[in-house]
A = this chain, B = another copy of it.
Amino acid sequence: MTRRTPRPRERGIPEATVARLPVYLRALQALNDQGTPTISSEDLAAITGVNSAKLRKDLSHLGSYGTRGVGYDVDYLIYQVSRELGLTQDWSVAIIGIGNLGRALANYGGFGSRGFRIAALLDADSSIVGDKVAGLPVRHIEILEEVVAGESVSIGVIATPAAAAQSVCDRLVGCGVTSVLNFAPVVLNVPPSVDVRKVDLSIELQILAFHEQRKSDGYGGPEWFGIPGSLT
């Protein structure tokens, strides 16, 4: 039996692990930039703010890439994590909605180090269509399907007002986009084959407010101390 790419574990990296791999990757790249050749799970865990056992278990899902008594080779681990995350190929991204936020996203140069290419900017407002933002022309949303096909867009970033988000999403899905990053404050309805991730400023603030309230509440005075992990 021959297999060209020695696939580590046949399938199923836990979602919680996937969400942390980018954090490890960033730390590893920083270590690499400063010339560190190897790193122990203990040290990398400290840098990324996780428990070292968790880090080792996370990495073990990719395969056995560490050396006992030594640690992990930074370069090699960068390669393995990148590969697992699919960053060895380039993904074309379209940003829809070039308001304040869309502009900020377009200009956010380090859009994840490498692996992503902002391929198109789209907006419904004719008065900004044709403008250049971050070196790219804003195109009219009318030709979304055409642009998605022409640029092989595989990830759509929705930065429109809430009211427009679902219909933009439907059109993206309609022309084959199966990954969406949604900044509009609405729950998007999509078929189960489509992945949606949501970034919602006001939700984050509300979660912070909840905890902030607890801190200054009557609660927690007495039992605050001595309960390890009562905060987190």
- Point out residues on A near B: beta carbons under 8 Å: 11, 15, 18-19, 21-23, 25-27, 47-49, 84-87, 89, 91, 93, 99-101, 103-105, 107-108, 110-113, 115-116, 154-155, 178-181, 185, 187, 189, 192-193, 195, 197, 199-215, 219, 231-232
CB-based nearest B residue for A30: B186
What are 6 contact pairs spanning A and B, CB under 8 A? Answer: A22-B202, A22-B207, A87-B206, A110-B202, A115-B206, A195-B208
Task: Determine whether the beta carbon of B209 is less than 8 Å from that of A195.
Answer: no
Chain B residues, CB < 8 A from A49: 187, 189
Chain B residues, CB < 8 A from A87: 206, 209
Known contacts A115-B206, A199-B199, A212 near B108 by CB under 8 Å: no
Task: Determine whether the beta carbon of A105 is less than 8 Å from that of B206.
Answer: no
Known contacts A192-B231, A195-B211, A155 near B108 by CB under 8 Å: no
CB-based nearest B residue for A209: B86
Chain B residues, CB < 8 A from A155: 205, 208-209, 212
In-complex Cβ contact of A197 among B48, B207, B219 (8 A): B207
